[in-house]
């Protein structure tokens, strides 16, 4: 139980809180995406940690699910970055507070 406690503290306690703090505090759109990616990586690390609960056995199903989520997370971040680049081209700012004031 002790060998699974340390990665969970790193995953949930540190990475998830850093990602959540980036989502709350940062006003730059690219830093928001970075915080979201940190939270995705924390969830993947926790999932792999839970897959090693049985001694001497690592579940390959969890590893394959994590590989799929890494690909999907990369696609989500790529689409978000493309949207942010288009917003920057059009409005010349990445400040979330200024972008919220825009009227559509």
Query: What pLDDT digit, counting tens, does each position of 21-37 carry?
Result: 999 998 899 999 999 99
Local confidence pLDDT in tens for the 104 residues of the chain: 557 677 788 778 888 899 999 999 988 999 999 999 999 999 898 888 888 777 777 778 888 999 999 999 999 999 999 999 999 999 999 998 888 887 76
Q: 28 has which bridge partners?
A: 95
12: domain CATH number?
1.10.287.3510
Full domain range(s) for residue 27: 2-100
Pure H helices in 1-104 = 2-8, 17-25, 29-51, 60-91, 96-100
> For the chain, what is the domain count?
1
- Radius of gyration of the chain measured on its C-alpha atoms: 17
Q: Which pLDDT belongs to residue 78? A: 95
């Amino acid at each position: 139980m002790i060998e699974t406690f340390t990665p969970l503290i790193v995953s949930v306690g540190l990475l998830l809180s850093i990602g959540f703090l980036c989502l709350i505090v940062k006003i730059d759109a690219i830093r928001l995406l970075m915080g979201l990616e940190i939270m995705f990586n924390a969830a993947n690390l926790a999932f792999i940690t839970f897959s090693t609960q049985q001694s001497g056995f690592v579940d390959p199903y969890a590893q394959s699910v994590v590989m799929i989520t890494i690909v999907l997370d990369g696609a989500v971040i790529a689409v978000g970055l493309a949207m942010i680049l288009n917003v920057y081209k059009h409005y010349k700012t990445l400040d979330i507070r200024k972008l919220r004031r825009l009227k559509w």
